[in-house]
Amino acid sequence: MQIIIDRLSLLAEKIRHQTDIDSCRIFHGRGRTFPGLEFVTVDFFQPAILITLFFEPPVHWLDELIGQICPLFTSVNTVLVVQRRYLPNAPSEIAWGVLSEPLYARRGQLLFNLHLAQQQNSGFFLDMEPGREWLEQHAAGKRVLNLFAYTCAFSVVAIAAGAEKVVNVDMSSAALNVGRANHQLNGLAKNKSEYVAENLLKSWSRVKKPGPYELVIIDPPSYQKGSFIAEKDYAKVIRRLPELMPAGGLVLACLNAPELNESFLRRQFIEQCPPAQFIERVQHHVDFPDVDPEQQLKLLVYRLPEAIT
């Protein structure tokens, strides 16, 4: 517990001297690098501290933690939220302070709408920052396809970095509506982004129509019953890449499934899209250490050659 308190003490000191602080993971126990704390993560979305419990903590542990956290902060500029992911529907509670709306994730000058204490996911994934940094370096002037776009954070970053156009595809209209709001929040031109609310595996013609694309992002859920199961469905996406980008281009293939290793994803490219050239695995974020790199988020970059006609 003391390491969590120490890191939050540093955060409290930072808050006293800095107005706007980027959202970040304060403590990552899930990577099993801190024995005895595998059940907890702590995130900061100014002004909210989010404690996520993945299974029930020891008796009195949470009360003791909160008791040590509260003196570090003031309820005027901080709110403490506890989410219990081990319970049905992952309920959240306000342990201290007042959760005001609107609430945003901050990434430099970019803001993203959050819905803390309302559903399981906040709307912005901190561990995907290396992918966003990679995209920021490669998006300028390109037509980008953002598959499984969720709330379109990749799209916001790409357009802010100079992308010509981003087409966002997700089966959830509600998530894409948040994505639209994220673009508006950051003052991005409406004609730079497009939104396709479809089940990707059943709507290839609608996805292909706004193309061709020069950069494709694949960031699916690892297991979403009835829509996408990575182990059997990822291959269906990869084999379509030459149709989506006939002039070639870059692919960022993401996989956040601890049970599937890097070799699984590389094998899918070898089998389903042989012309694709593996470029690199993007390094994981230092805030998300793990004893087993194969269980971390996988971000693989490929280059497709121009299709032979």
138 and 75 both lie in a single domain? no
Residue 112 lies in a domain: no
Prediction pTM value: 0.94
Helix (H, G, I), strand (E, B) or coil at 112: strand
Query: Which amino acid appears at position 233 of this protein?
Result: D
15 and 49 both lie in a single domain? yes
Which residue do the tokens 């709408």 mark? 113
CB atoms within 10 A of CB 281: 17
Residue 191: give its domain's CATH number: 3.40.50.150
- Angle between helix axes 153-160 and 129-138 (nearest 10 degrees) is 30
55 and 155 both lie in a single domain? no
Which of 68, 102, 136 terminates a domain? The answer is 102
When divided into structural domains, the chain yields a total of 2
Which residues have a Cβ under 8 Å from the Cβ of 196 and sit 6 or more positions away?
167, 168, 169, 170, 203, 206, 207, 210
Q: pLDDT tens track of the chain, all 309 residues?
A: 899 999 999 999 999 888 899 999 999 999 999 999 999 999 999 999 999 999 999 999 999 999 999 899 876 679 999 999 999 999 999 998 888 888 999 999 999 999 887 767 888 999 999 999 999 999 999 999 999 999 999 999 999 999 999 999 999 999 999 999 999 999 999 999 999 999 988 889 999 999 899 999 999 987 777 778 889 999 999 999 999 999 999 999 999 988 999 999 999 999 999 999 999 999 999 999 999 988 899 999 999 998 655
132 and 93 both lie in a single domain? no
Give the Cα separation of 134 and 142 in Å (integer).
14
Residue 213 lies in a domain: yes
Domain span including residue 177? 126-304
Residue 97: give its domain's CATH number: 3.30.750.80
